[in-house]
Structure formats: C-alpha cells, structure tokens
Amino acid sequence: MWATGPAGTGGPGDLVCHGDYGPWLVWDGVRPVGLIDWEYAHVGRPLLDVAHALEYVVPFRDDAECLRWLGHPAPPDRLCRLGLCATAYGLTSTDVLREQINWTERHRHLFD
C-alpha cells in the first residue's frame, strides 16, 4: 500500500518517489547522505517529485522566510537555483519544471 493508494508498479518512466522532500536530510558534515520521512512514498513520475523538492531547494519562500527559517545567509538567487536543478536533471530549460509545479503568482514574484 502506497500513501496515495493501493500498491502498484506504475507505468513506463515511473519510479518510487519520496513524495514529501524537504529540509529533513541525514548529513555527513556538509554532505547530504540520506532522505528520511518516507510516509508519502508512491510510484509516480520523477519530475513531479523533483518539482515538489524545488519548494525547498529553490526555494519558493519569501526572502524573510529564507533568511529566518531556512538559514540562508542572503536572499537566494532563485533563477540560478532553478536553472542548476534543470541542468542537473539533463533538461535544456526550466520550462518543464515550471510546468510541473503549481506556477502561481506566489511563485512568479519570487523570480522578478
């Protein structure tokens, strides 16, 4: 049984997704070595899981929250971070990632 319903194998290109990626990682010094908190694991499309992770990685938080809660020393360069994620996944643009997230006004103003 997956968090999203009955166990299944998915379709072509699907894999086991974390389903709730966030800043809760296992660290070895400054190197992340593991993910925890797998109760939302499910079979799905990898880019949906990546898009969910971008909420914290880019992050889709205002500058004050990035500084206070996420511990950024300065407001993050979100366009650069989104581009780095796209490149790391072998994408030639950020368009497919933007399509996967709920691209709302809340997100757009963070990239101005």
Question: Quick one: which of 103, 109, 14, 17 has its CA closest to 55?
Answer: 103
- Determine which helix (DSSP H) or strand (DSSP E) holds 98, and give its type and residue range: helix 95-100
Q: What is the mean pLDDT of the chain?
A: 82
Q: Where are the domains of the chain?
A: 15-111
Between 1 and 28, the more confident residue is 28
Per the DSSP assignment, residues forming a β-bridge with 44 are 15
- Whole-prediction pTM value? 0.72
Query: Is a pLDDT exceeding 60 seen at residue 105?
Result: no
Query: Is a pLDDT exceeding 90 seen at residue 74?
Result: yes
**Mean pLDDT across 35-64:** 85
Residue 42 binned pLDDT confidence (cut-offs 50, 70, 90): confident
**Mean pLDDT across 98-107:** 66
Cβ atoms of residues 67 and 87 within 8 Å: no
Two tokens at 1? 């049984």
pLDDT tens digits, one per residue of 3-38: 666 667 778 888 888 888 877 789 899 898 998 888
Cβ atoms of residues 79 and 72 within 8 Å: no
